[in-house]
Amino acid sequence: MSMIRELRAAVRPALRRGHPGYGPGTGDPTGFLSSVVDCAVYRDGARVKDQLTPHEALERARSDGGFVWIGLHEPSEQEFSGIASEFGLHPLAVEDAVHAHQRPKLERYDDSLFTVFKTIHYVEHTELTATSEVVETGEVMCFTGRNFIITVRHGGQGSLRALRHRLEDDPELLAKGPSAVLHAIADQVVDGYIAVADAVQDDIDEVEIAVFSSTPGGGSARGADAGRIYQLKREVLEFKRAVSPLLRPMQLLSERPMRLVDPDIQKYFRDVADHLARVNEQVVAFDDLLNSILQANLAQATVAQNEDMRKITAWAAIIAVPTMICGVYGMNFEYMPELKWKYGYPLVMGVIFAICFSIHRGFKRNGWL
């Protein structure tokens, strides 16, 4: 909050002087400032301590050298219009940055690169259920120019504040310019993927053990396992949508020479691309493994249903014997076998018991009961 108040105090003189991009029609300056997380100029890897508006920061970078790093969090179209016109950002990229919900991608314009990263955060839970949220996604979008980098973040995760402090502690790397910041962001995002993949692996192991262990329970337990597997598969699919589309952008940044990317930094992108490829293989394996677990669970449910049907059929066959005999004697004919005999009733009951016992023993021997 103190930083926002300082920036607000700094921008008021700029508004009075009529700086381009911050005049009437570009939105309420207070609202604009609410989306700015940080704005700084870096020269020779060191941060210029002055509190500057984006316009002043860009002018300082152009006149004295260095680059500008502006961080924004969920700006509105009106709030972002001033910065977009000031830095000459392409309207299509600006529209994507404001409305979010974009696929990971890399787009090249005349004087800038527009990169979209999907951030992934693992949601801690004590027990995986059919409604558990496993991963939470956000977005970080980067506009990289010759003397500026603008980061636009959407979602509650993926803060870049700690990353900025780490880079400021490494002036030699930060002196490489905006591409060094772009690499650091990509590296942090991919490292987050690795951590989430390890946590998701634990959830998959838990579900796999539950499915393949011999646990007693009825159909409700089997249904609960299927629900958990399906929910986990949906979350892994969300994870996959963040990782897989980023492979091509990282390949371009690591292999194809670009005038906005320092050649020394390009070597670091190769390491990020390698880590990303391994995470992608792991996520694809998660998807295949969950398919196998789901099929095994369905097969177990089918086998259990068949066993239930065999038991029902066996007991129906046993009960059919006394039902048939009692039905015959219940027709009340005058001439029935042993009807007038003193021991007729015990004899019939014994015959019923003997037949039922024999059938039960046969079903038991064959594994139906």
pLDDT exceeds 50 at position 31: no
Q: Would you state the pLDDT for residue 335?
A: 67
301 occurs within a structural domain: no
- The two beta strands, 148-154 and 67-73, are parallel
CA distances from 67 to 10, 30, 73, 81, 317 (A): 19, 25, 20, 20, 86
Find the domain containing 340 and state its range. 306-365
228 occurs within a structural domain: no
d(CA 357, CA 263): 86
Q: Would you state the pLDDT for residue 287?
A: 92
pLDDT (tens digit per residue) in 173-224: 999 999 999 999 999 999 999 999 999 999 999 888 888 875 544 444 555 5
320 occurs within a structural domain: yes
pLDDT (tens digit per residue) in 299-328: 877 777 788 888 888 888 888 888 887 877
Q: Would you state the pLDDT for residue 1?
A: 39
Q: Would you state the pLDDT for residue 63?
A: 87
Sequence-distant (≥ 6) Cβ neighbours of residue 333 within 8 angstroms: none
318-327: Cβ within 8 A, 24+ apart? 318/356, 318/359, 318/360, 318/363, 321/352, 321/355, 321/356, 321/359, 322/352, 322/356, 325/351, 325/352
The token pair that represents 30 in the structure block: 């207070």
Lowest mean pLDDT among 1-5, 61-65, 292-296: 1-5
42 occurs within a structural domain: no
Q: How many domains does the chain have?
A: 1
Instruction: Check which CATH number belongs to the domain holding 353 and give it.
Output: 1.20.58.340
57 occurs within a structural domain: no
The token pair that represents 268 in the structure block: 């670091």
pLDDT exceeds 80 at position 165: yes
pLDDT exceeds 70 at position 17: no
d(CA 194, CA 100): 24
Query: H or E element: which one contains 126?
Result: none
pLDDT exceeds 60 at position 225: yes
Query: For residue 256, which amino acid is it?
Result: R
d(CA 86, CA 111): 13
Query: For residue 42, which amino acid is it?
Result: Y
pLDDT exceeds 80 at position 8: no
pLDDT (tens digit per residue) in 323-355: 887 877 777 766 666 667 777 778 788 888 888
What sections of the chain are H helices per DSSP? 2-17, 29-35, 54-64, 77-87, 91-99, 161-168, 171-174, 178-212, 219-243, 247-255, 263-329, 344-365
Question: Cα(first)–Cα(last) distance of the chain, in Å?
Answer: 72
* Residue position matching structure tokens 């050298």: 65
pLDDT (tens digit per residue) in 240-258: 999 999 999 999 999 888 8
What are the backbone angles phi and psi of residue 142, rounded to the nearest 5°?
Answer: -125, 125
Q: 239, 223, 230: which is closest to 285 by C-alpha? A: 239
Strand, coil or helix: 91? helix
Strand, coil or helix: 152? strand
Mean pLDDT for the stretch of residues 268-291: 94
- Give the bridge partners for 186, in sequence order: none
19 occurs within a structural domain: no
Average pLDDT, rounded, for the chain: 82
d(CA 367, CA 255): 64
d(CA 109, CA 166): 29
